């Protein structure tokens, strides 16, 4: 499988730019996983760390779910991989499969896209209980871009360690 990654526009409005950068980073994570087996995707960075490409995909499913569904849409639902609210549980992908992780991640991305599209503006506000603060959709989108950018850096190193693939 080869992931299509569309570069963000050089000139566009704020919402279109945020949406495009977020999708670009989502595609980057998927691209870092292209062509790898489940075993490769579960390969840990440096034991005892549980960090793996599959763990990153699972983690980003939790991030998408939390920020868009739980915070912006005020949905009362648990995390995908932890009923106790432990965000670290997603990183433990030792028994996970590509299809399980990617199905959950892609489902959360689709929910996030729908919520963003249906929002009246970037000024829509949700409540983040962990931060005990209200946050705008604008902040959520910027936070997700930041989160993907950080983890895509991890994904670069993980992929290089697996098969030497480097680059964009």
Q: What is the pLDDT of residue 168?
A: 67
Q: What is the pLDDT of residue 167?
A: 76
For residue range 9-23, what is the model confidence (pLDDT) as tens digits? 999 999 999 999 999
For residue range 130-157, what is the model confidence (pLDDT) as tens digits? 889 999 999 999 999 999 999 999 999 9
In this prediction, the residues of the chain whose per-residue pLDDT falls under 50 are none
- Whether residue 168 is contained in a domain is answered as no
- Whether residue 3 is contained in a domain is answered as no
Total domains, the chain = 1
Q: What is the pLDDT of residue 4?
A: 87
DSSP 7: P
CB-based contact 45:51 (threshold 8 Å)? yes
pTM (two decimals): 0.95
Report residue 53: phi and psi, to 5°. -60, -45
CB-based contact 72:126 (threshold 8 Å)? yes
Cα–Cα distance, 126 to 160 (Å, whole number):
38
Q: What is the pLDDT of residue 1?
A: 61
Under DSSP, is residue 45 helix (H, G, I), strand (E, B) or coil?
A: coil
Q: What is the pLDDT of residue 23?
A: 98
- Whether residue 21 is contained in a domain is answered as yes
Residue 76, CA atoms < 13 Å, CB-side half-sphere: 0
CB-based contact 41:52 (threshold 8 Å)? yes
Give the CATH number, domain containing residue 81. 1.20.120.450
- Whether residue 29 is contained in a domain is answered as yes
- Whether residue 2 is contained in a domain is answered as no
Domain that holds residue 45: 14-163
The residue whose two tokens read 């929002």 is 119
CB-based contact 76:84 (threshold 8 Å)? no
């Amino acid at each position: 499988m080869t992931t299509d990654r569309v570069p963000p526009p050089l000139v566009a409005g704020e919402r279109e730019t945020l949406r495009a950068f977020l999708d670009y980073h989502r595609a980057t994570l998927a691209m870092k996983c292209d062509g790898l087996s489940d075993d490769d995707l579960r390969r840990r960075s440096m034991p005892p760390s549980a960090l793996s490409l599959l763990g990153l995909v699972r983690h980003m499913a939790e991030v998408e779910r939390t920020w868009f569904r739980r915070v912006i849409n005020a949905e009362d639902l648990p995390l995908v991989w932890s009923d106790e609210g432990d965000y670290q549980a997603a990183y433990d992908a030792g028994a996970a499969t590509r299809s399980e992780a990617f199905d959950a991640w892609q489902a959360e991305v689709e929910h996030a896209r729908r919520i963003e599209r249906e929002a009246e503006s970037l000024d829509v506000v949700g409540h983040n209980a962990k931060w005990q603060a209200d946050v705008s959709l604008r902040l959520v989108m910027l936070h997700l871009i930041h989160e993907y950018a950080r983890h895509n850096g991890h994904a670069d190193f993980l992929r290089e360690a697996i098969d030497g693939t480097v680059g964009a």
